[in-house]
A = this chain, B = another copy of it.
């Protein structure tokens, strides 16, 4: 059964393909740079995904939160660890982050239901 997480992934995939089709060199290079930033290096890919999640939460971007939660779950972060990252985001970003915390917790629950 489809849910908002599936819808997000389909829309994200469709529009990213459309954007690459536009064939703008700068945009394509940005996409590559963005992917590369989360690869294993001096920090592990797993750690970097958690950094991406917290950055998305304090900047209050639901789509970015969804993407990074999916990545964090794939990378092996456990719920209790992600809740800690949610808490750091909440304290840094304040109550204005609460609607995004609700979204993040729901997304994480939807992720776990999938498996």
Residues of A within 8 A of B (CB): 11-12, 15-16, 18-19, 22, 24-27, 29-30, 33-34, 36-38, 41-43, 47-48, 50-52, 54-56, 58-61, 63-64, 78, 80-81, 83-99, 101-102, 105-106, 109
Q: How far is the CB of A45 from chain B (nearest CB, A)?
A: 11
| A47 contacts across to B, CB distance below 8 A | 47, 50
Tell me whether chain A's interface is mostly helix, strand or loop, or mixed: helix
Which residue from B78, B96, B99, B109 sits with its C-beta under 8 Å from A92? B96
Cα of A38 to Cα of B24 in the assembled complex, Å: 14
Contact B29 A33 (CB under 8 A): yes
Cα of A16 to Cα of B99 in the assembled complex, Å: 10
| A19 contacts across to B, CB distance below 8 A | 101-102, 105
Contact A51 B50 (CB under 8 A): yes
